[in-house]
Amino acid sequence: MSGLYMLLGTLVTLGILVTIHEYGHFWVARRCGVKVLRFSIGFGTPLVRWNDRHGTEFVLAMIPLGGYVKMLDERETQVSPAEQSQAFNRKTVGQRIAIVAAGPVANFALAFVLFWLLAMLGNQAVKPVVGSVVPDSLAHNAGLQSGQEILAVDGEAVTGWADVNLRLIQRVGDSGSLRVDVQTPGNTAASHYTLPLQDWLHGADAPDPIRELGVIPWRPQADPVVAQLDPEGPAQYAGIQLQDKIVALDQHPVSDWQEVVNYVQARPKAAVLFTVERAGQLKDISVILTAQDNYQGQRGYLGVGVAGGQWPEHMLREVRFGPLGAVVEGAQQTWTMSVLTLSSIKKMLFGQLSVKNLSGPISIAKVAGASAESGLRSFLGFMAYLSISLGVLNLLPIPVLDGGHLLFYLVELVRGRPLSERVQGYGMQIGIALVLCVMLLAVFNDLARL
């Protein structure tokens, strides 16, 4: 079933995003008087095709990994004198800029609409209450305490842990001060803490900002009963089974899942004796933990998951907006995620963020399937984030991409004449090489994650 969700989720996501992007080009081209020869979703052999009254051929092709809008252009084909006024190359620089920019703009518009819908649908957020603070961490040294609720990060209000994580991700690789506003139980006034950052999480492969700050979120107590097993994890290999209850680690009794997590993560590659209760019988199982890399070194990995505990009502918060309030929220989310995407690209270029965080088609397909399986809200949110990524990436000043064409047209606007065909040709070759390198790196990262 997960494979079906992955397939359908990927097809629906790419279909919608590509269609919206190309429709942006198409719609503005028509308004500027350009004759559109073909509007294609997908590449390769056409599966369905038809023509409208303007002579545009609409195509649904076999390979759904993109699309294109082919316009009448004297640089590509011979144009009759009667149709020269409808050729793309005959339009003013301003019109050409508008046509090229319309694709990415359409992606941002789609993201705004999706965020607007999500804001009206609402969601249930877990209050960002500190469960515990890791000794000698940034949070501990600044004075944060267990039981405090985080109200704002760097002056931006937060309603749940997702907001906290988003604000902290924006500071990855930075130096300076991080301000955290909290409310202590029994105190109505907010307290302010300043945490010094120095190349924080610089070059981290898979940063976990909340935990690396030294904050462990509060969560309800969960019994250490195995509900999930990584089929390739050390627990499965050692013989731990579903429904086993972990009662002791190296002869030390445990009663809560968090105790198991803390014990395991502190012992990468170590042999740990697990005492489990299975069908009323106690059984000792020796497990050799594996290791996972993180910013501070390595953490032990067991490959086990448990069922979550029941969240008390006072720890949950309903976040929902009316139609007008959702407009503001949608615009803010679109802007925030656009800036974050652009900032992440910059940090990768300067080494502040590891290029291992770059994801390719395999990761996109997996996330598309997981979000589709999780429900409508999750899937719409994923589409909004991916639409923003598509919009930002297409605006990068790399020839071949929309941003590269915009760069050429802006130069033409300043110079009063276009760059030579030779210069543009060299630019296209460089752009193709860059895009191919990035694509290969993304695919390599995907395979490495597998």
pLDDT per residue as tens digits for the range 51-74: 999 889 999 998 888 899 999 998
Tell me the two tokens of residue 53: 């009254």
Q: Is the pLDDT of residue 85 over 80?
A: yes
User: What pLDDT was estimated at residue 289?
Assistant: 94
Tell me the per-residue pLDDT of 134-167, one tens digit each, with 9 for 90 and over. 889 999 999 999 999 999 999 999 999 999 999 9
User: What pLDDT was estimated at residue 226?
Assistant: 93
- Measured CA distances, 442 to 137, 139, 202, 204, 448 (Å): 33, 34, 20, 17, 10
Interval 17-24 mean pLDDT: 95
* Active-site residue, from 22, 76, 318, 329: 22
Tell me the per-residue pLDDT of 28-42, one tens digit each, with 9 for 90 and over. 999 999 999 999 998
Tell me the per-residue pLDDT of 277-302, one tens digit each, with 9 for 90 and over. 999 999 999 999 998 866 556 789 99
User: What pLDDT was estimated at residue 103?
Assistant: 96
Q: Is the pLDDT of residue 308 over 80?
A: no
Which residues contact residue 219 at a Cβ distance below 8 angstroms, ignoring those fewer than 6 apart? Answer: 131, 258, 308, 309
What percentage of the chain has pLDDT greater than the value 90?
Answer: 64
Tell me the per-residue pLDDT of 110-142, one tens digit each, with 9 for 90 and over. 999 999 999 999 988 999 999 989 889 999 999
Domains and CATH numbers, the chain: 1-32+91-122+323-388+405-414+428-450 (no CATH), 130-219 (2.30.42.10), 226-308 (2.30.42.10)
Tell me the two tokens of residue 188: 């109505």
Closest alpha carbon to 18 in 69, 58, 66: 66
Tell me the per-residue pLDDT of 1-16, one tens digit each, with 9 for 90 and over. 567 888 888 888 989 9
What is the amino acid identity at position 316? L
What CA–CA distance (Å, rounded) separates 23 from 28? 8
What CA–CA distance (Å, rounded) separates 372 from 204? 29
Q: Which residues pair with 153 in a beta bridge?
A: 156, 180
Q: Is the pLDDT of residue 450 over 70?
A: no
Q: Is the pLDDT of residue 205 over 80?
A: no
Ranges of beta strands (E only) in 230-387 are 245-249, 252-253, 271-278, 281-288, 290-294, 297-301, 304-306, 316-319
**Highest mean pLDDT of the ranges 194-208, 269-283, 410-424:** 269-283
22 is catalytic: yes
What CA–CA distance (Å, rounded) separates 356 from 206? 8
Measure the CA angle with vertex 218, ends 214 and 220; round to 5°: 145
User: What pLDDT was estimated at residue 295?
Assistant: 53
User: What pLDDT was estimated at residue 443?
Assistant: 86
Tell me the per-residue pLDDT of 250-274, one tens digit each, with 9 for 90 and over. 999 998 898 899 899 889 999 999 9
Chain centroid offset of residue 174 CA: 20
More confident residue, 321 or 359: 321
Q: DSSP secondary structure string, 253-291?
A: E--SHHHHHHHHHT-TT-EEEEEEEETTEEEEEEEE-EE
Q: Is the pLDDT of residue 217 over 60?
A: yes
Cβ atoms of residues 217 and 161 within 8 Å: yes
